[in-house]
Amino acid sequence: MWCFSAESAGGLGYADPWLHHDTTTIALYGAYDGEAPGDEHARPAYGHSKDGRADLKQVLLSLGVSGDGGLPLRLGIRDGNTNESTETPVAIEECLALGLDGVLGMVADSKAYSRRTLGLWCEKQIGLVTLVPRTCTVRQALEAWGRQQTTLPLWLEKPGRTAHDAPRRWRGRSVSRNVEVEDADKRVAWEEVWCVAVHSTPLAYQQAQASSTAQAQEAQRLATPIAHVATQRFACATDAEAALAADEGRERGRRGRPPQPWRYQVFQ
């Protein structure tokens, strides 16, 4: 499901005026000098690493490119612990500061969807095309609405990737919904946005595969604490009490050290 502003709905037929925004992380090695007074450079810091290197400091790279050919138009380097959801409003302000003619808005991934981002696009009267996260109420409501529809208009059909694959189809319909937006003073209000509810056969298959993989990975993570508990053997109530004390950190530490309770993870 995609979301865009009502003010820019009439311009969706144009591709060139849309700037594309995305972020990535750059892992850094070695030591760095301390900050100088007045230094405004990005600071290496630990944060969510897209490379899976949580042990390294990093910086966040924010890039904006043209929609017609991927020409870089804007570049930003942020602190390594910058939240990507807070980066999109900054990227929007920087895109507007470029003063490009004919720019209708920005295209970004689901991390761009936030109340402040929606409020900024309403203030600046620009468009924002982004994927609404599955956890948002408006998406859940539209998914429930879509399941109640007997059929949706066919928007696009492409042949399968191979001769044996079924055709790929995208069906959907645009509807307006009211969502919460936040202004610069952190006041929350309701504004109307246009949402495109789309059912995609390729995406449906990918989501099914991703869900199956996630369940298998969670089962594997659960196997370790289950195996740990299963290896415990209790001959009597005394052994059980000692195991409980060790688990809760109430036992005496070894060699004079403070006790370290066994750590475990709770999965839902």
Which DSSP state fits 45?
B
Can you give the pLDDT at residue 11? 40
Residue pair 80/13 in contact (Cβ under 8 Å)? The answer is no
Distance CA 173, CA 2 (A): 11
pLDDT per residue as tens, the chain (268 positions): 444 443 433 343 434 578 888 999 999 887 766 665 556 778 888 888 888 888 889 999 998 888 777 788 888 889 988 888 888 888 888 888 887 777 788 888 888 888 888 888 888 888 888 888 888 888 888 888 888 888 888 888 888 888 888 888 888 888 888 989 998 888 999 988 888 888 766 666 777 778 788 888 888 888 877 777 677 666 677 777 777 777 776 766 666 666 665 555 554 4
Can you give the pLDDT at residue 3? 46
The answer to whether domain 2-22+41-209 has CATH 3.30.460 is no
Close Cβ partners of 27 (under 8 Å, ≥ 6 residues apart):
49, 51, 53, 56, 57, 58
User: Residue type for 230, please?
Assistant: A
Can you give the pLDDT at residue 240? 72
Can you give the pLDDT at residue 188? 92
Beta-carbon neighbour count of residue 33 at 10 Å?
A: 6
Q: What is the dihedral of CA 236, 242, 243, 248, to 10 degrees?
A: 150
Can you give the pLDDT at residue 158? 86
Beta-carbon neighbour count of residue 149 at 10 Å?
A: 11
pTM: 0.61
Task: Give me 250's structure tokens.
Answer: 């109430």
Q: How far is CA 182 from CA 16, 90, 118, in A?
A: 29, 15, 7
Can you point out the beta strands (E) in 51-167?
Answer: 58-66, 72-78, 105-108, 127-131, 154-158
Domain boundaries, the chain: 2-22+41-209, 232-268
Can you give the pLDDT at residue 36? 56
Task: Give me 180's structure tokens.
Answer: 């919460």
